[in-house]
Amino acid sequence: MRAVVQRVSSARVTIDARVTGEIDRGLLVLLGVAQGDTDADLDWLAQKIAVLRIFEDDAGKMNRSVIDLVADIANPHQATVLVVSQFTLCASTRKGTRPSFNDAAKPDVAQALYEKFLARLETALGPLPAPNSVRRVACGEFGAMMQVELVNDGPVTLVLDSRLRE
């Protein structure tokens, strides 16, 4: 799995003029599922994203994670991570100028892993503050043509690859 993780002050996904996911301060995660990805890949990636220390502390150092952000926000029911499926992250441009998507997982496999990833990331963020809380992980719609808007904060953008464990 590959993920582009962006620290944002806001982000949202729109499909056919309908907002399907929206966050204020938090992380936008663009997620690509490759052939051969497993539950171990999504577990590693979800945990890594939850604990990445890319938010500034009081001294201005990047020492805080999205878990810390969840604990600090005034409304603990709002989403703090927006995950968008993006098979194009698995593209190869080795040959010519047209990307090849042969390394991307087949849609049925990718969708199942994407949905598991959403649940695992939610779990990695810790227990919900109340039994009927809204999920803290917002998302787009798998396979849909989406418009993604974001205000990159910093900017801070990282690329993670579960196979390289970096």
User: Are the C-beta atoms of 82 and 27 separated by less than 8 Å?
Assistant: yes
With bands split at pLDDT 50, 70 and 90, how would you rate the model's confidence at 30?
A: very high
Q: Please say if the pLDDT value at position 50 is more than 80.
A: yes
Confirm whether 86 is a catalytic residue: yes
Helix (H), strand (E) counts: the chain: 3, 8
User: Are the C-beta atoms of 87 and 110 separated by less than 8 Å?
Assistant: yes
How far is Cα of residue 151 from the mean position of the Cα atoms in its chain? 15
pLDDT attached to residue 166: 80
pLDDT attached to residue 76: 54
DSSP 20-85: EEEESSEEEEEEE-BTT--HHHHHHHHHHHHH---EE-TTS-EEE-HHHHHHH-S-TTS--EEEEE
Q: Considering the domain boundaries, does residue 73 fall inside one? A: yes
CA distances from 149 to 13, 55, 101, 117, 160 (A): 6, 20, 24, 22, 21
Active-site residue (options: 38, 88, 101, 147): 88
Q: Considering the domain boundaries, does residue 27 fall inside one? A: yes
Q: Considering the domain boundaries, does residue 148 fall inside one? A: yes
User: Are the C-beta atoms of 162 and 44 separated by less than 8 Å?
Assistant: yes
Cα(13)–Cα(19) distance, rounded to whole angstroms? 6
Kindly report which listed range (36-45, 78-87, 127-136, 155-164) carries the lowest average pLDDT score.
Answer: 127-136
Total number of domains constituting the chain = 1
Confirm whether 87 is a catalytic residue: yes
Q: Please say if the pLDDT value at position 12 is more than 90.
A: yes
List pLDDT tens digits, range 65-77.
998 887 766 555 5
The parent domain of residue 59 ranges over 2-161
Q: By percentage, how much of the chain surpasses pLDDT 90?
A: 75
Active-site residue (options: 80, 86, 117, 142): 86
How far is Cα of residue 110 from the mean position of the Cα atoms in its chain? 15
Q: Considering the domain boundaries, does residue 153 fall inside one? A: yes
Q: Considering the domain boundaries, does residue 166 fall inside one? A: no
Q: Considering the domain boundaries, does residue 66 fall inside one? A: yes
Tokens of residue 50, six digits: 């939850």
Cα(31)–Cα(37) distance, rounded to whole angstroms? 12
Q: What are phi and psi of 63, to 5 degrees?
A: -125, 0
Active-site residue (options: 6, 78, 80, 87): 87
Looking at residue 52, which CATH number applies to its domain?
A: 3.50.80.10
